[in-house]
Amino acid sequence: MDTTRSSRRGRPAEAGPYTRRMARTADVAGLEAQIRTVGLRSLLPEQLAGSFPLDGSRVLLDLLPLAMGSLAIVGCGERVFAIPLTGAGRSRAGDGVFAALARAIGEEGEGGRFSVSRLGEVPPGTRERAIEADQSNDSVVVDEAVVVKLSTLPSPAPHPAVDVPAHLAEVGFHETPALVGSMTWSGEDGPLLVATVTAFLSGARDGWEWHDELLGSIADGARPPAAWTRPAAELGALVGRLHAALGTASSVFPTPRSLAKTGDVASWRRRAEDTLDDALACTDGPEGERLRDASPDIRRAFAAFGAVTSTPLTPIHGDLHVGQLLPRREGFAVIDFEGNPLQQADERGTLRPPARDVASTLRSLDHVGRIVQRRRPERAGDIGSWIADARTAFLDGYTDALEGCGSRDLFDERLLRPFEVAQECHEYVYAARYLPRWRYVPDLALPALLET
């Protein structure tokens, strides 16, 4: 296969170091045969592999040879995939491919359709370990110094995963790991973000795991409920500082504030209704029956959007939950600005109401409670009270931090409830597409939310 030829999903590659290396070193025909033999689906992350049909022929659009393997850009129908490969199949942490990808990003420049940007030092080593968490991308720690994240489904650049960290660094917000570099690949519709390299936060814990352990210890009587409300207040303050920073002008976002109009608010309601319709269509069994019974109350909650005729907009995180807020000795840090995996392409990078981030974070605190509740159903009443206390602490910390930054006007509380209800509908869709075992969480959380 001539990888410099034109294809339906990619323009002809220009001569460059990666293209020339590929011509000398890559067994393109062998890789094509490998993809056909093992099947494209088997080369995708487990959480992503069964989330959509793979229609159309598989086309190897481009290839970046790396030490111990390669990075393949594969087209399938309307989708483009970035897949790390070794001779044995999909690359895993320990194969050395992600460390080599980091080094390629450290060699700032362009080659063919691949382009890299380096903002910091990339370690020269090869030690790799996977980040064990449910995710649709691959994240690998290299030399305990950086995290290499490969976007299995590359998204159009410019991209918030690059722009937001650059903006935050410029305005002085440092409670997030520094962006070290990034790689894009240019298809016929423009560049796609393929990978990022960020600084590794030594000593940080997975946020879901940490909150689960903490609330579990409270449910077992080992710690008092205040042990959860205190960090909830810290989380709220962090998100408040984040939103104030996102609303501060920089060379990246010179006009980071705007006002939504009636038409914008109406579009949020339509998307919430669409998400509910999707959730109803993809949720069966007893959970689906309960969701259908609740749908009139859900639609009434969405009617609250109609009371809002104007509200502040800024850049936001877009997929904020406790898993993105990592506890560490120095306090919490916020990570992963690439946005929601179910987010529509026209939303990525747009200005949106900060209440969306607040709603999704509050929902995640509730979801931690439901995870513990499933193990300890006899403590359901107590867990409900602890969730309410954590919610109050988070909102107090959040509004106090906004006030201290002179940005209290960014938070429109009228939007909180409809966005929270919409987030629960999203959880049903997420479970159906990516993580079926998650379905019980919104099934437990939604009734309590609708009662408030």
Kindly list the structural domains of the chain, giving each domain's residue range(s) and its CATH number in brackets, ordered by start. Answer: 17-199 (no CATH), 207-451 (3.90.1200.10)
User: In Å, how far from its chain's centre is CA 450?
Assistant: 26
Contact present, 179 and 165 (Cβ < 8 Å): yes
State whether the Cα torsion 29-34-36-39 is positive or negative: negative
Question: What pLDDT does 47 receive?
Answer: 64
pLDDT tens for each residue of the chain, 452 residues long: 223 222 333 333 333 333 333 433 456 676 777 777 667 777 777 666 666 677 777 888 998 988 888 899 998 888 899 999 887 788 888 899 999 999 999 886 666 789 999 988 888 888 999 887 656 678 999 999 999 999 999 989 889 999 999 999 999 999 999 999 999 999 888 999 999 999 999 999 999 999 999 999 999 999 999 999 999 999 999 999 999 999 999 999 999 999 999 999 999 999 999 999 999 999 999 999 999 999 999 999 999 999 999 999 999 999 999 999 999 998 999 999 987 755 555 555 589 999 999 999 999 999 999 999 999 999 999 999 999 999 999 999 999 999 999 999 999 999 999 999 999 999 999 999 888 999 999 999 999 999 98
Q: Which residue has the tokens 């990525």?
A: 348
φ, ψ (nearest 5 deg) of residue 358: -60, -45
> Cα–Cα distance between 149 and 154 in angstroms, integer?
11
Question: What pLDDT does 344 receive?
Answer: 58
Question: Rounded to the nearest 5 degrees, what angle is found at the Cα of 415, between the Cα atoms of 410 and 420?
Answer: 120
Give the CA radius of gyration of the chain. 22
The beta strand positions in 188-329, using DSSP E, are 190-199, 258-260, 311-313, 325-326
Residues in the chain: 452
Count helices and strands in the chain by DSSP H and E runs:
13, 15
